[in-house]
Chains A and B, each alone.
Chain A
Amino acid sequence: MSTLVLSRRAVTGWPWLLLAAIVVAAVAVPLGAGEQLADFSRALQPPSAAHPAGTDHFGYDLLIRTAQGLQISLLTAASCAVVATVLGALIGVGSALAGGWVDAAVMRVVDGVNALPHLVVGIVIAAMWRGEPLAIIASIGLTHWPAVARVVRAELLAVTDAGWVQTSRLAGASRWFIARHHLVPTVTGQAVVAMVMLLPHAVWHESTLSFLGVGLSPDRASLGTLLGQARGNILAGAWWTLVVPAGSLILTALSFAAAASETRRRSEPPSGRVW
């Protein structure tokens, strides 16, 4: 019995292992490579033994530059997801606790913000503070909180009415006890799931903005910036400028998606189980 549980856990944990490997590679590769200097004499070289992923048009090794870009992409995406989740959780909890017309009004605002074409708004905001990482984080974080707010609010309302919370209340538990032991754990769980689900989207968003030229500048190259440069280079036949950055972006997105669906599966609403 125990081995069965163990093996299932090992199987379902693989997206997280893959993600951990990606993060370690993003941190370790640039550290191991040391300081990189632009060298135009070796610009746009195809993959070779010295540069397994080739070089970009500044002469940087693309493998190292991709790892650096991945680091920045992940960092930006994580900041965006945290901003959106904290904001969404606060608004969702506040709205659910306030109830009445405040709740109704807040939910209409949530609908409104959710209806915005996020990329279009993101492009306009990011262009007005061009190259500022804060503007990118704000433009993504401030447009993606509604999903979190909606989930957290719905969960809070559902849990408040749930049988086991009612039982706890009837048994004489104080409001504070119920909040600490029943509401907070549920809401935190849902907020974490929402955050994990936001991460791949945030990676997508940031890399798209950077690709379009309104995101991070080339001296703080994210994956999107690298792909933006590849857009010109592939026309000159330098296909390798596309392969490694695009491959790592897709791999990251896939493992995030797998991790998100696994997290969601694990935190299915409690069915009779008390948290």
Chain B
Amino acid sequence: MVYSKIKLPLSASIVLLFGFVLLSLQLMSTATQESSELSELYSWLLVINALGSVLLLGLVAVNAWSLIRELKKKEAGSRLTTRMVSLFVLLALAPAAIVFYFSVQFLHQGIDSWFNVEIDRAMDDALELSQSSLTQRMNWHIKQTRQIANQLENKSDTLIALELGSLWADSGAMEIAVFSSQGQILASNSVNPNEILPTLPDKQVWLQLKQNKEYFAFDHSDDDKMTVRVILPIDHIDQSRFLQMLYPVPLRVTDLADSIEFAFIRYQEMTFLRDSLKTSFSLILLLVLLLSLLAAIWVAFISIRNIVAPVKELVKGTQAVADGDYKQQLPVMSQDDLGFLVESFNQMTRRIARSSDETRAAGMEVENQRAYLETILANLTAGVISFDASFHIRTANQAAYRILHVPVSHFVGQTLPTLIGKHSELAEVLGTIQRLLEKADDIWDQRIVFLGPNGRQELLCRGTPLFLQDGSRMGAVVVFDDVTDLIQAQKNAAWGEVARRLAHEIKNPLTPIQLSAERLQHKLSKELQDGSAEFLQRGTRTIVQQVEAMKRMVDDFSEYARPAKKQVERINLIDLIQEVEALYLPTGIIFSAAFASRHVLVEVDPVSIRQVLHNLIKNAQEATTGQCKIDIRVSKTVRNNADYVELGFFDNGSGLQNEHLETIFEPYVTSKAKGTGLGLAIVKKIVEEHGGVIWVDTSYNEGAGFVIQLPVFEFGNHQ
């Protein structure tokens, strides 16, 4: 079974509420009338209205508390609701308070105006006049009664009965009666023939009679007629007799007296109730005000919440849109202006969502293009650095880092002079690029040679200034490539060609020359005289020695130019180093070694590497005049994401001059008198044939320092 909740429309609820409030107030107002049947329910109605006020106050308080909580939580629409409710309360409260104040003032003044000294005095005088009139009438009747009583003194009961009729007839009384002190009726006469028995005094009258011996008073009969009752004693010999006479008070006098008494009593009552009246009416006014105001404020809360609800939804929707949720659609609650606003919001979000999707798609396309470009740049072998208009680095690729050995991408946003300050070894190349960037207005090419951390490097740089459509400069792009190896390869090829030609063109005639010289010596030495023979011997020996020297030189060239025929083996480099060291121990060279590990496996041609070590040691030996000391250091390093062994070779010789640093590894470059100039060239050739690099450690100043890096197969962790 489906239960459906019956919910009244808001407007009907409001009408009902105000209906109840008005009905309750009307009932209370009616109950204030003494004559109303609701008069007896006045207190209950007052309590019900007070409870209604408390209930409404509670509802308003709950709503206010709820609003304060929403305000603290900064919920959407709470501030607008607060503002509207505050405004409403202010607008409703101010005039209501003013009306209440002046109503109470008028009420109090109105009530006060009912009373004044003149009316007080008039009332008192009127009452006194009435009382005087009645008293005068009473006194007259007492006098009449006393005269009759005197006439009946000391007479027998029979005589009294006989005379009573005539006496009564002259008196004008309604009734006359004589009774004993025990209440026994002795004689009586009455105007009303139906009343056989006279109206005897009741217990109260008897009591007073016994005390005062006489009684006179006004009697109010049940039919609102007033009579004067006079009872006086009659002197008698035996026992006391009482004469009772009832005199009628004229109806007009009775009415006037009652009217005056009613007015007086009413006035007295109002005087007594004066303060109560003021307070009571003020209380009712206050209740009316409270009920009306609280009901209005409560209805205002509900109405304003209903009005603000779409705004609240709009705020939430706007926040959602601000947070990037463009799919936000709000329910259209009404067909009024707010409904139109909500519908417009929905249209706006639909359009934003569509635009956002398009923008996102376009952005993704751009991003893909950028990523593609970055990938290409990153994988270029040439270094690429882009600059902005003020020559700050904007981007740099991995190749730039590889060539310059500086993570240029870490210096994005900085200028080249700043980079020079941190990396002085790049001062020459970066300074040159900076100068060219500042000067050139067109594409420029420049070959820049500098001494990098790995020795001499030669860069081929191409700079392109970038311009905006309006012709202003927006930056520049510098592309550079490390052509050191290329140049070196070209040089090596040239030297190899020279060596081959030397071997072919020079070495071939040398043997006949040597043989011819030796034959001349052999044939002519016996035929010549001593002096000439000695001259010939010296000449032929010189020829033979020089031919031998030339042969060695040609052999060296051959060796240098010979293509690599490597017998690659996996050996422990440390063992090889120590083996070579042992060979030179008898020569007096002092070796000091620092090995990061004693287990360094490399895949090399042992003969070639041994020659490298020999050449380096011989080079050190030849460069040292005194005690030769060689420091060999072996450590692990990483180069281009691959493990390398770094072999440092430091001697205490004369060192290298700056002018030789760039060409030290080229053939026939030597600073020594005895060297052929091929030793280091061969070393470099062998190292490079093994996939390694060699450079001069320029930071070492106590002699010559060479650093070789070779690919390592395994570098042990233990020493």
Q: Do A and B bind each other?
A: no
Q: Give me the interface of B with A, judged by CB distance under 8 Å.
A: none
